[in-house]
C-alpha cells in the first residue's frame, strides 16, 4: 500500500505511520494507537460541526500523528503534547514541513505537568489511565473539547441525574460544560485493542445555572458526598467532613433541618444520585457557611 504522504493525496495512513515510527502499542504503558481511518476522520468533524474555533487546536497524546495530520488539514495551528520522547522526536521528523511553516508545535512532556498553550479547542485521544486528571485540567480552561475516553467513563460524564451512571464525575464535568457522547468506538479501532470499549465525548463550555462561592470546595464537597452515595445526605454530609474539609460536619445538617436555609429539609433524606448539580451547589454553599471556620450555628 502506498503511503498517502508519498502519494500526496489524502491523510496519512495510520498503519504506515506506525511502521515508519517503528513502534507498537504497549498496554502496560497505556499506549493504544487509534488506527481506524473513519473514526480519525470524524474527530475533527465533531469540532467543526459544532462551530468550535479551530484557530489553535491542542492534541494530547498524539502518538505517531494520525490524528495530528487530520487536525492540520482543518486548523490554523496545532500544538501536540507527547510524553514519549521517541514519539515526540518522530513527530518532529514526520511533520517537519508543518513545524517549519509555524503550523505545528510539538511539546515533549507530561500533559499533566507542562504549561498548556492558549488553545481554542482540544481534540484528543487521551491516555485512559490519566483521562480524569487531564479532563479536569482542560475543562476549567473554558474551551470546547472532543475527547476519546473509555466508554464507561464517557457515559458517567454525560449521565443525567437519577440514572445509574450519574455521580461525582457527572456533576463535576457538567459544572463546566454541556457534555454529550457523540460516538461509541469499538476495541478494534485501536492497535493493540484495549480491554474496554471507547467513546467520543464533545464538551461545550457554558456557565452553570447556579453560583458557588468557592469552586474548589464545591467540587471537593461533591466528591465527598458521593463516596457515600448509598446513604442519605444527612449521613453522607456528616460522615465525610474529613474529605470535604468541614470543621463541623453536623452544623450544616442541623441548619438545613432547622429551616435556617432556603433548602427544603426533606433534601436530607435523599441520596446523592437524586440530587441535581444546582441543589449540590446550594448544599455546598450551606456547608461552607455553617461548617467551615466556625460558621454560624446558633
Give this prediction's pTM: 0.91
| CB-CB contact of 158 with 170 (8 Å) | yes
User: What architecture is domain 215-291?
Assistant: Orthogonal Bundle (1.10)
**Is the pLDDT confidence value at 24 over 80?**
yes
**Is the pLDDT confidence value at 7 over 80?**
no
Would you identify the CATH topology of the domain 4-205? Rossmann fold (3.40.50)
Q: What is the pLDDT of residues 158-192, one digit of tens each?
A: 999 999 999 999 999 999 999 999 999 999 999 99
Rounded-to-integer distance, Cα 275 and Cα 232, Å: 11
Rounded-to-integer distance, Cα 157 and Cα 184, Å: 14
What confidence tier does 1 reach under pLDDT thresholds 50, 70, 90? Answer: very low
Side-chain-facing half-sphere of 42: CA atoms under 13 Å: 17
Q: What is the pLDDT of residues 258-290, one digit of tens each?
A: 999 999 999 999 999 999 999 999 999 999 999
What confidence tier does 136 reach under pLDDT thresholds 50, 70, 90? Answer: very high
What confidence tier does 71 reach under pLDDT thresholds 50, 70, 90? Answer: very high
> What is the structure's pLDDT at 6?
46
DSSP 271: B
Q: From residue 159, how far is each of 139, 166, 225, 289 by CA, in Å?
A: 17, 5, 17, 29
Binding residues for S-adenosyl-L-methionine, by number, are 32, 34, 61, 82, 110, 125
Across all residues in the chain, what is the average pLDDT?
94
Binding residues, by number, are 32, 34, 61, 82, 110, 125
**Is the pLDDT confidence value at 140 over 60?**
yes
Of residues 122 and 3, more confidently modeled: 122
| CA-based nearest residue to 226, from 178, 169, 164, 267 | 169
Domain boundaries, the chain: 4-205, 215-291
| CB-CB contact of 160 with 166 (8 Å) | yes
Q: Which three cell numbers stand for residue 37?
A: 481511518
Amino acid at each position: 500500500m502506498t503511503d498517502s504522504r508519498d502519494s500526496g493525496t489524502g491523510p496519512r495512513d495510520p498503519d504506515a505511520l506506525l511502521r515508519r515510527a517503528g513502534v507498537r502499542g504497549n498496554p502496560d504503558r497505556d499506549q493504544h494507537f487509534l488506527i481506524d481511518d473513519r473514526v480519525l476522520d470524524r474527530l475533527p468533524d465533531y469540532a467543526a460541526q459544532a462551530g468550535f474555533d479551530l484557530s489553535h487546536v491542542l492534541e494530547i497524546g498524539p502518538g505517531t500523528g494520525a490524528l495530528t495530520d487530520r487536525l492540520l488539514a482543518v486548523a490554523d495551528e496545532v500544538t501536540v503534547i507527547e510524553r514519549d520522547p521517541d514519539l515526540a522526536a518522530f513527530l518532529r521528523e514526520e511533520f517537519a514541513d508543518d513545524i517549519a511553516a509555524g503550523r505545528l508545535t510539538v511539546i515533549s512532556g507530561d500533559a499533566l505537568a507542562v504549561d498548556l498553550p492558549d488553545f481554542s479547542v482540544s481534540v484528543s485521544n487521551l491516555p485512559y489511565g490519566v483521562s480524569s486528571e487531564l479532563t479536569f485540567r482542560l475543562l476549567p480552561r473554558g474551551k470546547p473539547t472532543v475527547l476519546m475516553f473509555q466508554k464507561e467513563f464517557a457515559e458517567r460524564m454525560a449521565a443525567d441525574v437519577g440514572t445509574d451512571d450519574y455521580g461525582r464525575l457527572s456533576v463535576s464535568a457538567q459544572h463546566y460544560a454541556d457534555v454529550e457522547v457523540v460516538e461509541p468506538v469499538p476495541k478494534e479501532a485501536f492497535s493493540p485493542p484495549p480491554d474496554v470499549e471507547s467513546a467520543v465525548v464533545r464538551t461545550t463550555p457554558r456557565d452553570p445555572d447556579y453560583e458557588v462561592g468557592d469552586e474548589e470546595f464545591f467540587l471537593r464537597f461533591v466528591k465527598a458526598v458521593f463516596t457515600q452515595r448509598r446513604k442519605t445526605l444527612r449521613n453522607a454530609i456528616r460522615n465525610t467532613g474529613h474529605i470535604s474539609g468541614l470543621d463541623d460536619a453536623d452544623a450544616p445538617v442541623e441548619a438545613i433541618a432547622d429551616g435556617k436555609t432556603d433548602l427544603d429539609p426533606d433534601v436530607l433524606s435523599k441520596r446523592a444520585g437524586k440530587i441535581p448539580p444546582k441543589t449540590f451547589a446550594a448544599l455546598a454553599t450551606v456547608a461552607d457557611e455553617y461548617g467551615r471556620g466556625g460558621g454560624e450555628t446558633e
